[in-house]
Amino acid sequence: MLELQTFEALFKENHAHCLAFATHYTGDAHVAEEIVQQVFLRLWEKRDTITITGPVKAYLFSAIRNTAISQWRKDIVRSEKENGYGKVTETTVGAGEEVKELERLYRQALERLPERCREVFILSRQQHMKYAEIAEAMNISVKTVENQMGKALKILHQELKEYLPLLTGFLF
């Protein structure tokens, strides 16, 4: 259970970094502030049930990224409704294509990982399993899981280095 003092310290320590990341990710300081506030509010509301494994900053950046994408999708739907059903604006098409391209590059980089690295990475980042759970499921040591995650992150970092500002919270 996250206590108020611990949460306040977490907020003070990470708010500026989260806001900078969200601003860079969204390109809008006001939207970024709203997203960061939503993420911290959800963290507080789910404090009794949430378990964060790994670095807190990585969790927060991932939550910011996911919230921004969710907000972006809602904005597209709202824009489509305002412009009439079935109409898609040039902006939404362009943004959608950029996201699809980024997802394609990410999947390609993931496929180039050695098999064990890829399995560990997917279980950790996409299936949200803890390192101990991964070790048990794959019948390997926790240290091996740590090493494989480090290797996977290093390779993905190198493969996707020009896209890091968009992926930092998601992968790293």
pLDDT tens digits for range 43-57? 888 888 888 888 888
User: Is there a contact between 142 and 91 (Cβ–Cβ < 8 Å)?
Assistant: no
Task: Classify 99 in phi/psi space as left (phi over 0), alpha (psi -120 to 50) or beta.
Answer: alpha
- Which residues form the domain of 127? 94-171
Domain count, the chain: 2
| One domain for residues 98 and 60 | no
> Which pLDDT belongs to residue 38?
93
What is the three-class DSSP state of 87?
coil
Model pLDDT for residues 40-94, shown as the tens digit of each residue: 999 888 888 888 888 888 889 888 888 888 887 777 777 666 665 544 444 444 5
pTM of the model: 0.47
* 88 within a domain of the structure (yes/no): no
Residue 170 has pLDDT above 60, yes or no: no
| pLDDT cut 70: percent of the chain above it | 81
Residue 166 has pLDDT above 80, yes or no: no
Environment class of residue 98 by beta-carbon count within 10 Å: exposed (0-12), middle (13-18) or buried (19+)? exposed
Q: Average pLDDT of the chain?
A: 81
Q: How far apart are CA 119 and CA 40, in angstroms?
A: 30
* 136 within a domain of the structure (yes/no): yes
Give me the amino acid identity at 40.
F
Whichever domain contains 57, its CATH number is 1.10.1740
Closest of 10, 50, 20 to residue 169, by C-alpha? 20
| One domain for residues 3 and 48 | yes
